[in-house]
């Protein structure tokens, strides 16, 4: 008997109306099987579905809710903004206020432009880097996700250092011919690429800590090599901090690792649960953007007042609360606890964690790149996922995602999660 008949019925309905029943494929349970859970509401660390089940939420809307659902500061800010109107298509003071908070927080950002999603942020940053350098080629690492931008939806062609091929129908071959693909953490491959083509390379784009092939941590010297090679060859280093920004520290991965890129893309937490993306960087580069410079980029709803209010409240609260040390400590306890439980049950696994994001890989090897991650035992993950879901714990529905802990998760929530995991492994 399903514990979720209403979700099942609504999924059948949605599938008739929306491709796959979802507005973003990651929600469709494709990697784990079964029926997506339809959510009625969220509160703090919890989700409540339309069948009346409660879950401890480790997705946080895939990243934004580092403060938990419906944080009072965000709810108040949104209510205030709503009274003044939802969109004007003219400047507001709040746009500068959020820009100031971002510039103050993120070491590389001297100027910033708001957009509406992470995808828009990376798409725009790539365009600016190309416009600024007058070059076309970009370097991307296999397994890093930067949104559904044509030039970044790319798989490896045959042989190293060849141009990539589109990983989705609908992208012309020309859309990816200037994207060079390398394996994450491959410092030698990166050096070789710059030796061969350095003067053609507009930018490197990367997740400074990867969340999108599961959590993958940069090896010692990798971020530094990216920085050094870009400086040597006049290329723009872009950190895609859509996931890591305001999560790994208030200043993102770049603050945590002490490596400063030329440009940074943001999303997720910067909007506190509303649709916000942002890209920023050195003033000299950002002044290439229209209307100051020649690189065109625009948006009817960019800098939307509700979205700005939510972002401002989120960043102010994070700055004041400074929850990062405690979040990292609690996440370490949860991640190590899950790893220990898998160990005790004799289940091959490895663990990767930075701050409040981690992945328990059903893979005995440490996952350092996509080749290794592609060997994860996804069947084992599905069992783990559904076992936990049935016990009231909501993980991301794919082995290739990060589990997020929020400031709203209590020690009791973490302990209950570990108990649930032990129960799942006991039946393995």
Ligand X SMILES: *Cc1c(COP(=O)(O)O)cnc(C)c1O
We find the least distance from the C-beta atom of residue 407 to ligand X, in angstroms, to be 20
Residues that bind ligand X (CB under 6 A): 117-119, 122, 145-147, 207, 211-212, 240, 242-243, 267, 277
Q: Of these residues, 55, 186, 268, 413, which one is catalytic?
A: 268
User: What's the CA gap between 341 and 378, in Å, rounded?
Assistant: 18
Residue 268 annotated among the catalytic residues of the structure: yes
Nearest to 100 by CA among 244, 282, 316: 316
Q: Of these residues, 49, 57, 240, 413, which one is catalytic?
A: 240
We find the least distance from the C-beta atom of residue 97 to ligand X, in angstroms, to be 22
Nearest to 269 by CA among 286, 250, 294, 293: 250
Nearest to 121 by CA among 286, 258, 284: 286
User: What's the CA gap between 324 and 190, in Å, rounded?
Assistant: 32
Burial of residue 412, with CB atoms counted within 10 A of its CB: 0-12 exposed, 13-18 middle, 19 or more buried: exposed
DSSP-derived letter for residue 140 is E
> How is residue 24 written in tokens?
């973003």
CA-angle at 399, arms to 393 and 403, nearest 5°: 50
User: Which residue is closest to ligand X by CB?
Assistant: 118
Instruction: Specify the residue, 68 or 267, whose C-beta has the smaller distance to ligand X.
Output: 267
Nearest to 410 by CA among 68, 34, 80: 68
Burial of residue 372, with CB atoms counted within 10 A of its CB: 0-12 exposed, 13-18 middle, 19 or more buried: buried
We find the least distance from the C-beta atom of residue 206 to ligand X, in angstroms, to be 9
Q: Residue 103 in contact with residue 283, Cβ under 8 Å?
A: no
Instruction: Specify the residue, 240 or 413, whose C-beta has the smaller distance to ligand X.
Output: 240
We find the least distance from the C-beta atom of residue 121 to ligand X, in angstroms, to be 7
We find the least distance from the C-beta atom of residue 284 to ligand X, in angstroms, to be 24
Instruction: Specify the residue, 63 or 164, whose C-beta has the smaller distance to ligand X.
Output: 63
> How is residue 106 written in tokens?
């993120």
Q: Of these residues, 46, 55, 132, 145, which one is catalytic?
A: 145
Instruction: Specify the residue, 122 or 304, whose C-beta has the smaller distance to ligand X.
Output: 122
Q: Which positions ≥6 away from 191 have C-beta within 8 Å?
A: 225, 229
Q: How many CB atoms lie within 10 A of CB 222?
A: 21
User: What's the CA gap between 144 and 124, in Å, rounded?
Assistant: 17
Residue 58 annotated among the catalytic residues of the structure: no
We find the least distance from the C-beta atom of residue 210 to ligand X, in angstroms, to be 8
User: What's the CA gap between 143 and 241, in Å, rounded?
Assistant: 15
Residue 3 annotated among the catalytic residues of the structure: no
Instruction: Specify the residue, 74 or 342, whose C-beta has the smaller distance to ligand X.
Output: 74
Instruction: Specify the residue, 53 or 356, whose C-beta has the smaller distance to ligand X.
Output: 356
DSSP states along 14-55: HHHHSGGG-SSGGGG-TTT-S-PPPEEEEEBTEEEETTS-EE
Instruction: Specify the residue, 207 or 413, whose C-beta has the smaller distance to ligand X.
Output: 207
We find the least distance from the C-beta atom of residue 118 to ligand X, in angstroms, to be 2
Active site residues: 145, 240, 268
């Amino acid at each position: 008997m399903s514990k979720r008949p209403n979700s099942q019925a609504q999924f059948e309905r949605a599938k008739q109306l929306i491709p796959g029943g979802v507005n973003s494929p990651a929600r469709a349970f494709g990697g784990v099987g079964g029926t997506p859970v339809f959510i009625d509401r969220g509160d703090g660390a919890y989700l409540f579905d339309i069948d009346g089940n409660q879950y401890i939420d480790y997705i946080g809307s895939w990243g934004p809710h580092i403060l938990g659902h419906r944080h009072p500061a965000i709810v108040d800010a949104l209510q205030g903004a709503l009274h003044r109107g939802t969109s004007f298509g003219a400047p507001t003071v709040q746009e500068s206020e959020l820009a100031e908070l971002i510039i103050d927080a993120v070491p590389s950002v001297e100027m910033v432009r708001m957009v509406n999603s992470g995808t828009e942020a990376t798409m725009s940053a790539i365009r600016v880097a190309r416009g600024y350098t007058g070059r076309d080629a970009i370097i991307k690492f296999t397994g890093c996700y930067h949104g559904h931008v044509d030039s970044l939806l790319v798989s490896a062609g045959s042989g190293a250092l060849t141009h990539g091929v589109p990983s989705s129908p609908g992208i012309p071959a020309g859309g990816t011919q200037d994207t060079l693909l390398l394996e994450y953490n491959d410092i030698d491959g990166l050096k070789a690429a710059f030796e061969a083509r350095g003067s053609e390379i507009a930018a490197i784009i990367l997740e400074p800590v990867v969340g999108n092939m599961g959590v993958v941590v940069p090896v010692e010297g990798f971020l530094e090599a990216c920085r050094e090679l870009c400086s040597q060859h006049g290329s723009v280093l872009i950190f895609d901090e859509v996931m890591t920004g305001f999560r790994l520290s208030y200043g993102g991965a770049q603050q945590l690792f002490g490596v400063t890129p030329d440009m940074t893309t943001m999303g997720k937490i910067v909007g506190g649960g509303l649709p916000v993306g942002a890209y920023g960087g050195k003033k000299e580069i950002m002044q290439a953007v229209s209307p100051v410079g020649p690189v065109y980029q625009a948006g009817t709803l960019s800098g939307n007042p509700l979205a700005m209010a939510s972002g401002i409240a989120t960043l102010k609260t994070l700055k004041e609360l400074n929850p990062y040390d405690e979040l990292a400590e609690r996440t370490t306890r949860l991640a190590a606890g899950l790893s220990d439980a898998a160990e005790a049950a004799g289940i091959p696994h490895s663990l990767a964690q930075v701050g409040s994001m981690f992945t328990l890989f059903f893979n005995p090897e440490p996952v350092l790149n996509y080749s290794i991650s592609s060997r994860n035992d996804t069947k084992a993950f599905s069992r783990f996922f559904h076992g936990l879901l049935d016990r009231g714990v909501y993980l991301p529905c794919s082995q290739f995602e990060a589990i997020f802990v929020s400031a709203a998760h209590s020690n009791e929530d973490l302990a209950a999660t570990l108990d649930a995991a032990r129960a799942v492994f006991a039946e393995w």
